[in-house]
Structure 1
Amino acid sequence: MARMPPPASSLLWRSLRAYQIYGANTDVGKTIITTILCKAAHKLWPGERTAYLKPVSTGPADAADDRCRHIRRFAPDIATKTLFQYDLASIPPDETILAEISRYAAHQAHYGPGWLFVETAGGVHSPSPAGSTQADLYMSLRLPVILVGDSKLGGISQTVSAFESLKIRGYDVETVLLFREATYGNHSYLADYFGQRHDIPVRTVPEPPKLLEDAVSDAAALSRYYDDCSGSAEVQETLSHLDARHEDRISRLESMSAAASEKIWYPFTQQKHLTPEKIVIIDSARGDYFQTFNSQGTATSDAASSNALLQSSFDGSASWWTQGLGHGNPSLTLAAAYAAGRYGHVMFAEAIHEPALAVAETLLAGLKNPRLKRVFFSDNGSTAVEVAVKMALRASRLRYGWGPGDALGVLGLQGSYHGDTIGAMDCSEPSVYNEKVEWYEGKGFWLEYPTVEYSQGVWTVKIPDGMRDLHAGPSNVAYPHLSSIFDVESRESRGEGRFYEHFIRTTLERFAVQGRKFGALIIEPVVLGAGGMLLVDPLFQRTLVKIVRQSAHVFGNTAPGTNSVADDRTWTGLPVIFDEVFTGLYRLGRFSAASFLGVEPEISVHAKVLTGGLVPLSVTAASESIFQAFASDDKSDALLHGHSYTAHPVGCQVALESLKEMQKMEARGDWDWARTAYQRAETESYQDLSAPDHTREGLAWSVWSPELVSWVGGLPTRFVGGVWALGTVLAIRLISSDGSTGYKGSAARAVHAALLQGRVNADSDRSSEPQWNVHSRVLGNTLYLMAGQKTTQETVKGVENLLREVLENTSNRT
């Protein structure tokens, strides 16, 4: 089965020292300095191949090969090539340019040891044919940079600005070269600036000779100039420095896993079994992909010297669910730099800055929850949950008049998990995450719940045995498609939630008899993430919230059927907390996962995608009635919680940019390709089942295709127990041969390993083509894959094809 090729990898080979030449501006002498470097490289390493590549050439069509002709004329032993002329009638997309550069570089590496100089066009931000700036276009290649400085008037500013533009995008500028010009002396200032501040050497070459009228004399003068410059000590020192930097980079990559094995303590990892070769070395990341070190390319033999040392690895866990707008997103990077330059960090108590206020206003408006009025900032999801619980417990204690000695718990769902700090940990039942933590003391009760999966052509709401046996409930219920399950209002009107109501009321009344006290209901809406990627029946969660709000008599000293408040903006029963750290902000296709349930919480927790995957930041949004529970003349009654970096301006500015960008994407219809696929599939399903049509506003959709979900769900039940896809998430529950379940299950390990292994692009039989794989995480027997909000349909298709191959092969061996 053919697979879509991945985007261009970072370019690194043992045999080939490849460098990209950027100019601080147009007309700074890039081609002249590149010619000097090419000629010098051939002199110093005469047995090696030196090549020059011009990816995009500007100017008229008849001058398309000018620079190549120039280098061939004065450095005749150099291999040269121009890929694209700017004024071509057919504009090549950026992906094509990158692919051609990669192909040419791999071809050069195949020859053995050598040099490759890739010259850009114009300045750092000169546009590509498709319109993106060069600084953005070439980021994924991550070639180390030779920056040609500007020796003219104003050149200091141009050179420093060009350097900062490259630095902020993750380029490594290895050296600065420019003409030695006596009038302005830019090289003296730049040598101090780069040397002292950035430890980057600055070297100069003489200016080229003035143009002579006689073409023969001019060519002879220029030839002498190139001979002299290419043999100069400064140029030779420059190449020696670049050669050493190339070796240092590879040596560092080769040694990182062993050093990490000795010095790093990894999260969620039993390091007794983590040998150095299992540690993934990430050199950089761009878009949906890591660039990972390929240990198979480390051999020093001539036969393996052309193997690429880096490969593209699809970030299949969205970097632990944080990634939304792609690694190295220039807009987010600039937002971070802007805030860092404007503020750094400023203390937040009794103060305000624009990024914090703007992100609070944007978030509240996007959530469209009339209950939520206040935003509290913290640094990560677990801490934000602790803040939410503090808020809820205080409000409940005041409402019901409980004393300091009354022990309060929370209501939640079995298998839920809200973080690793002690307070958030206590909000979950005993599990592998917390049962061996000495201070853990689970404080609450966690209900059973029905889950949703697709298997053998049917979407099924699976009622747990304990719930069904205890309350004589229905057996598992089948639906034609996922949107039918998420049509909670129609299901509720048909009475499908009455069984849930009975189960929940009976459970709560048992607590009243036992005298147990609860201060909050906390749930992960729609999906329980760390608990195993469990898709919960949304009607159950909707019903749970409603019944809790009707049950003040269970939690406090009130008569059945009465509430202590009269409006629907003030909480009743218990404060409801929605932990949307994972499921919120378009992870499941909507701004808020609460919209799937049609009920609104008093407290809402957000993190991860909040900043698009760039920096840590979290928020706890709360209602005014919750806020007023802390109002007092006594400072000790305030919410005494915070940390030194509360409302960090960099995080707030990035979050603002992230929220606005995702909202623009939704408004533009950037995900319509996925929505349309599911709408078409559901329409066909309706026709097949002769079921009535209904509004598409509540359509449940995913970037993972309905064809893939159908195919996976049709695999043998001895291998796949069920599958679901929603928004950017795909979860596959595999069957363990030894019967193990939960976090300790091992059924997904073989699939995980096969995805990580990957293989050479199946569309080519060339060994020089880049390899790619999928870096994923597993939760026991559940394999999940996660895309970002900017992941393209083509990328998803490529990952799906690889996943099909892996699942088919693994299934046949099971």
Structure 2
Amino acid sequence: MAPVGAGLWRTLRAHQVYGANTDVGKTIVSTVLCNAVQRQKQRAAFLKPVSTGALDEADDRHLERYGAGALTKCLYQFDEPVSPHIAAKSKTIPRDDDLLASIHQTLSGWARSDIDFALVETAGGVHSPGPNGNSQADLYRPLRLPIVLVADSRLGGISSSISAYESLVMRGYDVQSVLLFRDDYYQNHDYLGQFFSKKSIPLVHLPAPPGKPVQMDADAQRRDEEAMHTYYRQASQESEILRLLEEMSLTNKTRIERLEEMTEKAKDLIWYPFTQHQGMQAKDITVIDSAHDDYFQTFNSGSSANPDSELRPTFDASASWWTQGLGHGNPDLSLSAAYAAGRYGHVMFAGAVHEPALSLASDLLETLDNPRFRKVFYTDNGSTGMEVAIKMGLRAACDRYGWDASQEKINILGLRGSYHGDTIGVMDCSEPSTYNKKVEWYRGRGHWFDFPLVKMVNGKWKVEVPAELKEDLGADSEFSSLGSLFDLNNRLSSETSGRYKAYIHRTIKDLVETHGMKFGALILEPVILGAGGMLFCDPLFQRCLTDVVREHPELFSPNAPAAKESPSWSGLPVIFDEVFTGLYRLGRPTSASFLGVHPDVGVNAKLLTGGLIPLCTTTASKEIFDAFSSPEKSDALLHGHSYTAHAMGCTVAVDSLKTMSKLDKDGSWDGYRADWKEVASSSTQESTPEVWSVWSNGLLQDLSSAESVESVFAIGTVLSISLRDEQGGGYTSNVAKGLQQKLAVGGDQFNVHSRVLGNILYLMSSVTSKPDSLREMERLLRSSLL
């Protein structure tokens, strides 16, 4: 099913009517507003998506009778006077997506006609269930229409009205007005008027409608109808109602004007990351009005794809720089953050503890399932988490080998194309590149191995060895499936493994003995090197590199006194940067599991909080921790942030880990697994490790054979497409821009926001992405490349 765009039209002022409770008068309020619009010689329309109860008492029939000529429509009518989820049990139930699409289609049709004002009225209260049992507040969220909240004037109505308001705000709705009936006894309108005035939200109180006759004979019915017509005529002419309609019109106009001017203002005021601003134009900036699930709602003024809608669904195919795991606007995570904000706000962490931080430390260690890990250190993002990891590794190595880092240069071992963040320290842990070589303090402290790459070319998985290393590492090789490539139990006994280890051993020995280099840590991004260009390293090479480092401690201090005994780590501390690849990004709790390696230090961020709040953890072994233990304060790990282990982030992370673990176990990804399992089973080795992707194997087969494509790969939620570049590719290449622009145009259902790394265009989904959306993405890719 196609995603639904949020509701915003120039020619139609559309609002959604929510009630603080059932039977608070939503339909009467809707009728008053429609009367007022009609009496101003404008056209009003009323839409009831789901109605229950007798047809002659239906809300749309009431509007038809008293709405002064307003257009009315009901999409789904159920006979029983009960909640929609109960009434729909014996009927054909519309899918939530179908219901949303029908609403959007109806409103768009009215926007193209002469309708000026429309109300979409919900059933019951804010959290009353829709036909499929989902809360209406969540069901209608993709539309994100501005809200008319009908407050409750009865006993207890103050509480229910404020609770309804807060539930809507927590989900990202804009509550633009509040209406309720005057009640001189409870006087809820006075209290709520003061409450909402502090929020700059207008509250209008209406006279209560006339009561219904006890006995409804024909004469009583006639008098009742006359009384209601009189009521609506008078109420719709009240000055506060007319003023409210003016404010609604102005708010809609102002909102669109603000969206129109945002790109020019942003160009003047904002310094964007990873952007060369020379030549940058305002039109190059994407205006995001809101986001929900996998989609941004982007401003779409003048678009020929959908000219009647100002907002368009745009698939967030960079997963908002790799952070999105559980979808934008996830109400469960929002509630978790709100709870922690209300309970704690932010509290000092040094020398203290709170339940969210303690729970997350425990849950994370269980998720990572690394017997070496004992301690969790909190920071705020991946770069600073890696700074901490480097401090840990270097201190432990210097302590082990008796080096004085103030007098000696201590280097790291890593891979070419590595990237661990933009802070000065971790920049030095990467080779010179576009990211760092013009940074004035960059020095580069290490040796970075070139390595064989995994890619699919012409429908075949292959490991491609760099030309300059073929003499040492051997020729390229092909594999029947991605699973067989990850079958390290078999590959470790191969000739290739022997070549890898011999080359790594020989290189390190030469660096230490001939060039006098000292190394304090091995730092790897397991499986995929992200910002370096989505480089898929042969997992066997990373495993062999780790094994050589750990199995040959004599390489690193051949002339030094004997190292301290009984280490849990050997050779060098092994640090895994899983900021990008960890926590189910590649389909598993850890990317380290693909290598069969337990690092001594690990760093996780991005998906840690499901994409909602910045937070990072650096986990370490007890022996790494002990390297900082001393009577001297100066020997401690003197690193911290004002918002260390902030309660909101920790609370959200606990819930995020639980949700992703549940998805891993409850069959949510079985369809993707089956697609890739069939491929693995057709190979000669049926017992290969389970490796799968949300992107279909058929897509990879097709794209890898396209003339413009050099290679592709996919694993977990990640898809990478390397385009042919006669100039050699790399980060400064522009060949992927064309594909990026085609996806930005998109198709009938949505367009795509994506990022490029030189000649590489990568796409990424959430772990909750819907198969229909992913298949439509694949259709767009095929039409753009084949």
Name the TM-score, length of structure 1 as normaliser: 0.93
Given the alignment of the two structures, is residue 730 of structure 1 paired with residue 719 of structure 2, yes or no? yes
- Pick one of 74, 83, 87 that aligns with 1:82: 74
- TM-aligned CA deviation for residue 665 of structure 1: 0.6
Distance (whole Å) between structure 2 residues aligned to residue 460 and residue 659 of structure 1: 34
What residue number does 1:431 align with?
433
Q: Residues 421 and 278 of structure 1: is their aligned pair in 2 closer, same or farther, counting only changes over 3 Å?
A: same
Q: What residue identity is the alignment partner of 2:33?
A: L
What residue number does 2:699 align with?
708
What SS class does the counterpart of residue 274 from structure 1 fall into?
coil
What residue number does 1:475 align with?
475
Q: What residue identity is the alignment partner of 2:715?
A: L
Q: What residue identity is the alignment partner of 1:694?
A: S
Q: Residues 134 and 68 of structure 1: is their aligned pair in 2 closer, same or farther, counting only changes over 3 Å?
A: same
- TM-aligned CA deviation for residue 566 of structure 1: 3.6
What SS class does the counterpart of residue 122 from structure 1 fall into?
coil
What residue number does 1:766 align with?
none
Given the alignment of the two structures, is residue 721 of structure 1 paired with residue 710 of structure 2, yes or no? yes
Q: What residue identity is the alignment partner of 1:799?
A: M
What residue number does 2:80 align with?
none
- TM-aligned CA deviation for residue 681 of structure 1: 2.0
What residue number does 2:65 align with?
73
**8 Å contact 1:15–1:305 — kept in the other structure?**
no
- Identity across the alignment (%): 50
Please list the CA deviations of residues 532-591 of structure 1 after superposition, one character each: whole Å capped at 9, or x if unmatched.
Answer: 00110001000100100122212124799x975446xx1110000000000000000000
What SS class does the counterpart of residue 246 from structure 1 fall into?
helix
Q: What residue identity is the alignment partner of 1:693?
A: E
Distance (whole Å) between structure 1 residues aligned to residue 301 and residue 28 of structure 2: 37
- Pick one of 744, 754, 779 that aligns with 1:776: 754
What residue number does 1:801 align with?
779
What residue number does 2:316 align with?
315
Map 1:382-531 to 2 at 5 A.
382-403=383-404, 404-469=406-471, 471=472, 473-513=473-513, 514-531=515-532
What SS class does the counterpart of residue 312 from structure 1 fall into?
strand
Q: Residues 326 and 233 of structure 1: is their aligned pair in 2 closer, same or farther, counting only changes over 3 Å?
A: same
Distance (whole Å) between structure 2 residues aligned to residue 305 and residue 801 of structure 1: 19
User: Cα RMSD (Å) of the superposition?
Assistant: 1.5
For structure 1, the 5+ residue unaligned runs are: 299-303, 762-771, 809-814
What residue number does 2:764 align with?
786
Distance (whole Å) between structure 1 residues aligned to residue 489 and residue 711 of structure 2: 26
What residue number does 1:578 align with?
576
What residue number does 2:734 align with?
746
Distance (whole Å) between structure 1 residues aligned to residue 559 and residue 98 of structure 2: 69
- Pick one of 196, 200, 215 that aligns with 2:221: 215
Map 1:175-194 to 2 at 5 A.
175-194=177-196
* Range 153-162 or range 456-465, more displaced: 456-465
- Pick one of 735, 743, 748 that aligns with 1:760: 748
**8 Å contact 1:581–1:608 — kept in the other structure?**
yes
Given the alignment of the two structures, is residue 237 of structure 1 paired with residue 243 of structure 2, yes or no? yes
Distance (whole Å) between structure 1 residues aligned to residue 26 and residue 367 of structure 2: 48
Q: Residues 281 and 512 of structure 1: is their aligned pair in 2 closer, same or farther, counting only changes over 3 Å?
A: same
What SS class does the counterpart of residue 410 from structure 1 fall into?
strand
**8 Å contact 2:372–2:600 — kept in the other structure?**
yes
Please list the CA deviations of residues 674-723 of structure 1 after superposition, one character each: whole Å capped at 9, or x if unmatched.
Answer: 00001112223x2xxxx24325xx1111000000000011112xx11110
- TM-aligned CA deviation for residue 64 of structure 1: 7.6
Distance (whole Å) between structure 2 residues aligned to residue 359 and residue 467 of structure 1: 44
Distance (whole Å) between structure 2 residues aligned to residue 757 and residue 64 of structure 1: 47
Distance (whole Å) between structure 1 residues aligned to residue 565 and residue 711 of structure 2: 44
**8 Å contact 1:28–1:148 — kept in the other structure?**
yes
What residue number does 1:667 align with?
665
What residue number does 2:261 align with?
255
Q: Residues 644 and 786 of structure 1: is their aligned pair in 2 closer, same or farther, counting only changes over 3 Å?
A: same
Q: Residues 805 and 177 of structure 1: is their aligned pair in 2 closer, same or farther, counting only changes over 3 Å?
A: same
Distance (whole Å) between structure 2 residues aligned to residue 465 and residue 152 of structure 1: 79
Distance (whole Å) between structure 2 residues aligned to residue 99 and residue 113 of structure 1: 19
Distance (whole Å) between structure 2 residues aligned to residue 215 and residue 56 of structure 1: 27
What residue number does 2:686 align with?
693
What residue number does 1:35 align with?
31
- Pick one of 594, 597, 617 that aligns with 1:596: 594
Q: What residue identity is the alignment partner of 1:173?
A: V
Q: What residue identity is the alignment partner of 1:74?
A: Y
Distance (whole Å) between structure 1 residues aligned to residue 48 and residue 326 of structure 2: 30
What residue number does 1:767 align with?
none
- Pick one of 259, 271, 282 that aligns with 1:276: 282
Please list the CA deviations of residues 75-112 of structure 1 after superposition, one character each: whole Å capped at 9, or x if unmatched.
Answer: 14111111113324111121111011011111101104
Please list the CA deviations of residues 587-640 of structure 1 after superposition, one character each: whole Å capped at 9, or x if unmatched.
Answer: 000000000000110000000010111010000000000000000110000000
Map 1:326-337 to 2 at 5 A.
326-337=327-338
What SS class does the counterpart of residue 83 from structure 1 fall into?
strand
**8 Å contact 1:740–1:746 — kept in the other structure?**
no
What SS class does the counterpart of residue 260 from structure 1 fall into?
helix
| Aligned length, in residue pairs | 769
For structure 2, the 5+ residue unaligned runs are: 78-83
Q: What residue identity is the alignment partner of 2:27?
A: T
What SS class does the counterpart of residue 143 from structure 1 fall into?
coil
- TM-aligned CA deviation for residue 297 of structure 1: 5.1
Distance (whole Å) between structure 2 residues aligned to residue 117 and residue 305 of structure 1: 22
Distance (whole Å) between structure 2 residues aligned to residue 652 and residue 328 of structure 1: 18
Distance (whole Å) between structure 2 residues aligned to residue 105 and residue 555 of structure 1: 70
**8 Å contact 1:520–1:577 — kept in the other structure?**
yes
Distance (whole Å) between structure 1 residues aligned to residue 307 and residue 185 of structure 2: 46
Distance (whole Å) between structure 1 residues aligned to residue 356 and residue 207 of structure 2: 48
What SS class does the counterpart of residue 724 from structure 1 fall into?
strand
- TM-aligned CA deviation for residue 803 of structure 1: 1.1
- Pick one of 14, 18, 24 that aligns with 2:20: 24
Distance (whole Å) between structure 2 residues aligned to residue 24 and residue 201 of structure 1: 16
Please list the CA deviations of residues 209-259 of structure 1 after superposition, one character each: whole Å capped at 9, or x if unmatched.
Answer: 111241111110111000000111111111111111111111100110010
- Pick one of 166, 169, 194 that aligns with 1:167: 169
Map 1:75-114 to 2 at 5 A.
75-85=67-77, 86=84, 87-88=87-88, 89-112=91-114, 114=116
Q: What residue identity is the alignment partner of 1:661?
A: T
Distance (whole Å) between structure 2 residues aligned to residue 537 and residue 559 of structure 1: 34
What SS class does the counterpart of residue 496 from structure 2 fall into?
coil
What residue number does 1:764 align with?
none
What SS class does the counterpart of residue 609 from structure 1 fall into?
helix
What SS class does the counterpart of residue 123 from structure 2 fall into?
strand
Q: What residue identity is the alignment partner of 2:221?
A: A
Given the alignment of the two structures, is residue 641 of structure 1 paired with residue 642 of structure 2, yes or no? no
**8 Å contact 1:13–1:305 — kept in the other structure?**
no
What residue number does 1:53 align with?
47
Please list the CA deviations of residues 12-53 of structure 1 after superposition, one character each: whole Å capped at 9, or x if unmatched.
Answer: 110010000000000100000100001101112x1x321100
* Range 457-466 or range 367-376, more displaced: 457-466
Please list the CA deviations of residues 166-190 of structure 1 after superposition, one character each: whole Å capped at 9, or x if unmatched.
Answer: 0000000001000011001000011
**8 Å contact 2:680–2:686 — kept in the other structure?**
no
Distance (whole Å) between structure 2 residues aligned to residue 79 and residue 680 of structure 1: 54
**8 Å contact 2:325–2:611 — kept in the other structure?**
yes
Distance (whole Å) between structure 2 residues aligned to residue 317 and residue 382 of structure 1: 19
**8 Å contact 1:106–1:306 — kept in the other structure?**
no
Q: What residue identity is the alignment partner of 2:746?
A: G
